[in-house]
């Protein structure tokens, strides 16, 4: 999600919104340890910067509890921040999520689930743009799109406009 600024308070608001919308359980900083083997950390920008990522567990629509990860790309003075929510492909496969053939690990079910999380998060803390798919962070930006969904979409788009958020699913 393109946060739209480099302000810590804005990034924290979107982090809180995503964490809540996804129903993430726990918050941990070490990816090399199981949650039971480490102390929980605050779900905060400070923790995100300290550990480089925040980890938790999220329930997929199938009911499976899997690991998830949130990372941030800080834009600094040149551009706004990005916040990324992801579930490892191995966790999705283990949970029985199927993917289309091809190099991009597409799953309409996973994309739709992530889009719903984005739609709910946007109601809690608006952001400039959401991208849905495998390794799509930063592949488009709100300024370039200027409120217009691409006609052909190799990734999903969550684009603000008209007082709400529109979801344009993959169609290419």
Q: Where are the domains of the chain?
A: 8-127
How far, in Å, CA of 133 to CA of 103, rounded? 12
Burial 117-149, CB ≥16 within 10 A → b, else e: bbbbbbeebbbbbbbbbeebbeebebeebeeee
DSSP per residue, 38-51: S----SSHHHHHHH
How far, in Å, CA of 92 to CA of 145, rounded? 30
Closest CA to 47 of 65, 22, 72: 72
Closest CA to 18 of 109, 127, 91: 127
Say what the pLDDT of residue 61 is: 86
For the chain, how many residues are written?
Answer: 172
Say what the pLDDT of residue 128 is: 95
Question: Which mean pLDDT values do the consecutive 10-residue runs of the chain (172 residues) have?
Answer: 91 98 98 91 98 96 92 82 91 79 70 95 96 89 93 95 92 87
The pTM score is 0.91
């Amino acid at each position: 999600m393109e946060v739209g600024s480099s302000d810590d308070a804005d990034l924290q608001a979107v982090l809180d919104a995503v964490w809540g919308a996804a129903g993430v359980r726990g918050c941990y900083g070490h990816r090399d340890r199981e949650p039971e083997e480490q102390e929980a950390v605050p779900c905060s920008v400070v923790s995100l910067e300290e550990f480089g990522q925040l980890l938790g567990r999220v329930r997929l629509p199938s009911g499976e509890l899997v690991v998830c990860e949130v990372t941030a790309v800080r834009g600094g003075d040149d551009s706004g921040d990005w916040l990324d929510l992801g579930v490892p492909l191995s966790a999705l496969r283990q949970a029985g999520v199927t993917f289309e053939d091809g190099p991009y690990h597409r799953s309409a079910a996973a994309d739709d689930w992530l889009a719903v999380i984005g739609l709910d998060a946007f109601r809690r803390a608006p952001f400039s743009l959401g991208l849905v798919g495998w390794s799509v962070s930063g592949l488009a930006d709100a300024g370039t799109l200027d409120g217009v969904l691409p006609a052909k979409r190799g990734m999903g788009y969550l684009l603000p406009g008209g007082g709400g958020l529109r979801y344009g699913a993959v169609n290419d």
